[in-house]
Amino acid sequence: MKKVITYGTFDLLHYGHINLLKRAKALGDYLVVALSTDEFNWNEKQKKCYFSYEERKSLLEAIRYVDLVIPEENWEQKKSDIKEFRIDTFVMGDDWKGKFDELSELCEVVYLPRTPEISTTQIKKELGSGGLAK
């Protein structure tokens, strides 16, 4: 069984995310998604999510391409995740191209093209700063 892993925040889930997950799953038989926790997003990325970790996790688990969702709690865990889950292919969007090449000593590293016309940043910008009140 060929296992694939990808990482992300997946806030304001949209069809660009679905395209990435579908293409990642097509590279193997089993897709693990490491989902950034709220604490990691805030403390390390200075990102505040609209949806909580549990809400984002539930959304991802409902997607047929996703087999397992695990928490991403720090930048350094990628190597241990690859070993623990016996990952064959590490996948990220091509906006990260070159940033994870060192992982190629453990598994195949693939950067997939982003869906150009959509992004969470774009959605937030178009809704305006006051448009995301929960």
Q: pTM for the whole thing?
A: 0.86
Look up residue 114 and give its DSSP letter: P
* Cβ burial, residue 31 (10 Å; 0-12/13-18/19+): buried
Please provide the average confidence, as pLDDT, over all residues in the chain: 90
Beta carbons within 10 angstroms of residue 50's beta carbon: 15
pLDDT digits (tens, 9 = 90+) for 4-60: 999 999 998 888 899 999 999 999 999 999 999 999 999 988 888 889 999 999 999
Residue 32: how many CA atoms within 13 Å on its side-chain side?
20
The pLDDT of residue 134 is: 42
Please list the active-site residues.
Answer: 45, 47
The residue written with tokens 């990102």 in the block is 47
The pLDDT of residue 114 is: 84
- pLDDT of 120 > 90? The answer is no
- pLDDT grade for 118, boundaries at 50, 70 and 90: low
| CA distances, 48 to each of 45, 85, 106 (Å) | 9, 29, 32
